[in-house]
Structure 1
Amino acid sequence: MTAGQAGVFWLEFDPDSGHNLLRKVSGESPQWGTPPTIDIRSEVNGYGGGALCAGRDAVYAVEASQQQIHRIDAATGATSAITQDADASFGGLVWDPFHHRTLAVRERSGCQQLVAVRDYNEVVPLHDSEDFYSAPALSASGERIAWICWSLPDMPWVRSVLWTAEVGEDGALIRARCWPTPGEGSVQQPVFDGETLHVLSDHEGWWQIWCVSWPDEQARWTCLDSTAADHASSPWQLGERHFCPLGQGGWVWVRYVNGVGELWLKRSTGSSSAKVAPGFNDFRHITVFDGQLYCIARSATRLDSVLAVDLATNRARLLAGDEAPFSDAPIVSPEPFQVPPSNGVTEEVAGFWYPPVDGSTDNNPPPLILIAHGGPTSMAWPVFNPQVQFWCHHGFAVADVNYRGSAGFGRRCRMALAGNWGQSDVEDMERAADHLVATGRADVSRLFIQGRSSGGYTALMAMTRGTRFRAGASLFGVSDPARLREVTHRFESGYLDWLLGAPSDYPERWHERTPVQQAHCIRRPMIFFQGGQDRVVVPEQTRQMVRVLEQNGQSAELWWFEDEGHGFRQRKNQVALLENLLAFYDQHSRKCNDGG
């Protein structure tokens, strides 16, 4: 989402075309900003982000197929490419009104740069000494700039640093300086309040808002909100915004409490803070423009919404979305649960349980599907998920689990997965299952586990540890980390070594936590879904896992979608996935009820 003189703009995913389409509000009602043939998406770092920014009379956006920046006229929608760098991808776009240019991160030939783009292929490098760059931020005068960098082998949420520079009259950067955090930590989302710089830093355990100044050439870090809570999630994408200044000491920010997002607003220095937009559980892309706060908001019972909050009254109004997903069917709301520490594990497990709509009772607990979220340094949000609703309407309970290593629970929880992937996450999935069985919310004989991508790895590892789960599902999941390590993209090239330790140092650990090497331990049925164009989990990896299981005499189904990549985008394939997975779970639920 972005806002400027040209209006308020955001992206909406169109399931029919599989494209991200531009929408805008310049009056009261949303309009399409581009035809459905234009797909807007950045691929920098593989996950993109910051694919658009609003200029004076146009929007600048990254077109998906060529990864070039296009100028889209705000009035007419006329589109033209302003970069023609065939080997590059762009992301993290920010409009610089002082030099009439777009600032961006350019990625090509295994390197990244902070660049400035003027109309029609004038691309000027600004900074290029570091491995990775975040979207930059400009001060109110345009004379100062800040950005975040990190270096291999780190991920940005493990260790990253703040950079600043002055901007010369010609737009070049002057006196670039690096400002490490006072303690070990990571920083993200730099933003200026006038000329004063703020960032989110977790060097004291949580991603909190810090003011950073350097009056005597020594950085001073001052915390604005010391609440023991994360104020952002993991920065997988460029250009995320979870907080924003309002001027006169006022702020708006997101705070995560037990995995639930809250939106808080403080109008000025000395005023009290207030929680706004109740009923929504996650907020992203916070933007303030012309006395209004804009954001993408998500709730447990509605589709994603675009909110506008009047900063004078705190009243929120809908610009788009918030439509009822079903016209004649109930929506199942999540019920938070916590699993207390036990058996030497000192951390709680948090998650969200969704009951089936068929009214199962204590004497007849429902079958349960446990979902391991992807990432793995991501989190489960209590927001509307049509696939979760699908399971609940077909008689299953669902548990979406935030295992150790999840974001949103502080640095200690997030870092707990270092060297422990395939162990701590699996233990926590088992703890969640046992807790829900013990509290009468799941049938112990009908427990299923599934996950996408890295969540598929967690599900596979859980299936190697015995027969607690009746069956498991891997949706384009990792079954051979060593193979993934050989082909993974640059952004995550050091991630697996952080998750498991370097293979040269821990060869036994890698063997023990590689599902394809432990396939002989799987004693229950598995089902796999794989895209033939997947560039993250190489398709052959899934074929090999299925072959090994079949050679061992185990039941393994494989559903192949040749036209899909990593994550299914086409509606027909999403429907086919759910239908086949439902048949699989129903089959093994019936076998259990029949004594099989």
Structure 2
Amino acid sequence: MALVSVERNGTPQDLLPPTHDVGSRVHEYGGGAYCVSPTQRVVFSDRKTGAVWLRETDGTLVSLAASTGCTYAEFAFDAAERGVFCVREDSREPGDAKAAVVWLDRQTEKVLIEGDDFYAAPRPAPDDAHLAWISWSHPDMPWDATTLSIAPLSWHDGVPDSGTHRAVCGAAMRCSVVDPVWESARTLLASSDADGSWRPCRFSIDPQQAPEWLPDPKGETGFPHWVFGQRSLVPLADGRLMAQIVTEGVSRIGILENGVWTDQPERNAAQSPVPFDGTLAWIDTPPDAPPAIVIGQDTNRIRQAFTFPDGIDASDCAAPVALAFPSAGGQTAHALYYAPANRHHRLATKERPPLVVMAHGGPTARANAAFSFKVQWWTSRGFAVLDVNYRGSTGFGRAYREALEGQWGIVDVQDCIAAVRHVIAQGLADPERCVIRGSSAGGLTVLTALASSDVFAAGCSLYGVADLRALAGDTHKFESRYLDRLIGPYPEQEALYLARSPLTHVSEITAPVLFLHGDLDKVVPLAQAQAMHDGLLALGRHSELHVYEGEGHGFRQEQTLKDSFARELTFYQQIFGQL
């Protein structure tokens, strides 16, 4: 990945030679691979080697004191720019990698905080007198329970020592606190879900000062911590607070001023904007245009992810409609519905469109309203799309997120089926032409839905989970206890893992299934798709498996992406032609 710089009204320029690949593998999913100082110095991690480099303002690259066998992420300069604080994963010894918060400069690599299984967001105070960070340990995931801590810093010859640390949130009460940011040298803001939803709370370095909830933003201001570098809270220089707020699964940017939140409807940001040269910069993610780097006004799009083909514009893009619908057990679930959109083609009078149901991965994630190629591909070809935020999704509060605990493969499936029945009842989809697709964790939902319902004419599992026992027995440290809450402890609950695995229910799947998988997938090995495919063929069922060479967990190559969508479309068209 390249590192790009742009000045206001300037042309984007690559800052590094092509030999460097900016990225990190900490916690497997990485993120937070670079940081820019106030004086425009840049520290970054090289994905290929794990080395950490400092780019000086004249373009000189200096190696920092990083260790072979370690990976680094989530960098933060001290105020004097003597070095950086960061998270390190140490794989030099057998077993799980050991995590720590460390200090790096040109000569020194020093461990400051260790002992927990995971760390994130080391943040020095503006006066370098304190350090804040979050941590958690197995069996928790960061959306289950984290601890926000601070420690005093003392400096000797430009190298920090950390004093006795104090937990300011998460010790007395089990909650998830994320995204800490210093408001001043004495106060710290973070999003805590101690009251039921992630929302901003103020913490003090004074142990006698109680935490203070900021006004309710009427939505969540935190994200599930899958990757580093997330940013939802941004204190502005004039004392206001800017935040990304997710309400009923739909995000917006809000500014808190004089105790009142005001929406910023012109900004569709992936994360909160950042101050830039007297204005704001952000990655714009509207529902009807490609993502773009924007400075100042939303019309000042410095660089877009891609451009539409000739003859295509925003009017050809389907707009999301947020739906709430009844599901099993008297519960309410959520989804985003997209009607077909294509200026040049229309459905026949009174014709109801075929429906593609999407089950997002994670499963602790969410479908969001930002422009999505995988949505627009289908809506431009006459399909309606239903992107389901089943129970367990984020953006709806802690209780909704926790509803999936012990219920993965049950409530997510119930919600997908209920979503289909809801839109059919509204006349928004053809009941005979409903299909379901999902990747990774969403693949498990797809296969289980096909095994437990007759509402789908077909389904597609993209590198999807089929054998939960194999997933529990061979995964990386970050997710090695994830299934403890979604299913139960393993191997103690092996019978439950077996019962919830789609591989156990092959005989119950009668609808046609397409499996798309990469031959290098280490998260969900190809053997899982192969076993499902072979089992269905042995029963005389319609199953197709296509393997993409050189692809891992998640398709990356352009040709793979083109072929997989075209192959899936053809698969559904053939099935519909047989109805």
Length-normalised TM-score, structure 2: 0.92
Amino acid corresponding to residue 131 of structure 1 in structure 2: D
Mapped to 1, the partners of 2:63 and 2:569 lie a distance apart of 45
In the other structure, the counterpart of 1:350 is: 335
Other structure's SS at 1:44 match = coil
2:246 counterpart of 1:260: no
Q: CA deviation at 1:26?
A: 3.1
In the other structure, the counterpart of 1:105 is: 87
Mapped to 1, the partners of 2:322 and 2:346 lie a distance apart of 19
Contact 1:475–1:529 (CA under 8 A) maintained in structure 2: yes
Amino acid corresponding to residue 264 of structure 2 in structure 1: V
For residues 298-344 of structure 1, the C-alpha deviation after alignment (integer angstroms, 9 at most, x for no partner) is: 1111111223348xxxx874333286523312432223142432553
In the other structure, the counterpart of 1:298 is: 285
User: What residue ranges of structure 2 are gaps of 5+ in the alignment?
Assistant: 92-96
Amino acid corresponding to residue 345 of structure 1 in structure 2: G
2:461 counterpart of 1:478: no
In the other structure, the counterpart of 2:325 is: 340
Mapped to 1, the partners of 2:123 and 2:273 lie a distance apart of 14
Question: Greater CA deviation, 221-230 or 504-513?
Answer: 504-513
Change (3 A) 1:225 1:305: farther
In the other structure, the counterpart of 2:203 is: 212
Contact 1:206–1:411 (CA under 8 A) maintained in structure 2: yes
Q: Which runs of 4+ in 1 moved over 6 A?
A: none
For residues 144-180 of structure 1, the C-alpha deviation after alignment (integer angstroms, 9 at most, x for no partner) is: 1100000101000001111101111221111211233
2:263 counterpart of 1:275: yes
Q: CA deviation at 1:480?
A: 0.7
2:27 counterpart of 1:45: yes
Contact 1:470–1:524 (CA under 8 A) maintained in structure 2: yes
In the other structure, the counterpart of 2:212 is: 222
Mapped to 2, the partners of 1:93 and 1:343 lie a distance apart of 45
Contact 2:537–2:543 (CA under 8 A) maintained in structure 1: yes
Other structure's SS at 1:348 match = strand
In the other structure, the counterpart of 1:500 is: 487
User: What residue ranges of structure 1 are gaps of 5+ in the alignment?
Assistant: 1-19
Other structure's SS at 1:537 match = coil
Tell me which of 148, 167, 170 is aligned to 2:134. 148
Contact 2:23–2:31 (CA under 8 A) maintained in structure 1: yes
Mapped to 1, the partners of 2:259 and 2:196 lie a distance apart of 26
Q: CA deviation at 1:143?
A: 1.0
Q: CA deviation at 1:512?
A: 2.2
In the other structure, the counterpart of 1:426 is: 413
For residues 242-263 of structure 1, the C-alpha deviation after alignment (integer angstroms, 9 at most, x for no partner) is: 1111145311111112222111
Amino acid corresponding to residue 206 of structure 1 in structure 2: S
2:69 counterpart of 1:82: no
- RMSD value, Cα: 2.1
Tell me which of 85, 88, 95 is aligned to 2:77. 95
Other structure's SS at 1:135 match = strand
Other structure's SS at 2:350 match = coil
Mapped to 2, the partners of 1:83 and 1:479 lie a distance apart of 43
Amino acid corresponding to residue 26 of structure 1 in structure 2: E
In the other structure, the counterpart of 2:572 is: 585
Other structure's SS at 1:168 match = strand
In the other structure, the counterpart of 1:24 is: 5
Tell me which of 503, 519, 532 is aligned to 2:506. 519
In the other structure, the counterpart of 2:94 is: none
Change (3 A) 1:442 1:362: farther
Change (3 A) 1:36 1:349: same
Q: CA deviation at 1:234?
A: 1.1
Mapped to 1, the partners of 2:239 and 2:415 lie a distance apart of 42
Change (3 A) 1:263 1:48: same
2:154 counterpart of 1:172: no
Length-normalised TM-score, structure 1: 0.90
For residues 179-237 of structure 1, the C-alpha deviation after alignment (integer angstroms, 9 at most, x for no partner) is: 3335431000111111211111001011100001253x356111112233111221111
In the other structure, the counterpart of 1:16 is: none
Q: CA deviation at 1:37?
A: 4.4
Contact 1:294–1:308 (CA under 8 A) maintained in structure 2: yes
Mapped to 2, the partners of 1:116 and 1:316 lie a distance apart of 40
Contact 1:470–1:525 (CA under 8 A) maintained in structure 2: yes
Tell me which of 363, 376, 384 is aligned to 1:389. 376
Question: Greater CA deviation, 452-461 or 320-329?
Answer: 320-329
Mapped to 2, the partners of 1:438 and 1:129 lie a distance apart of 54
The share of aligned pairs that are identical, in percent, is: 31
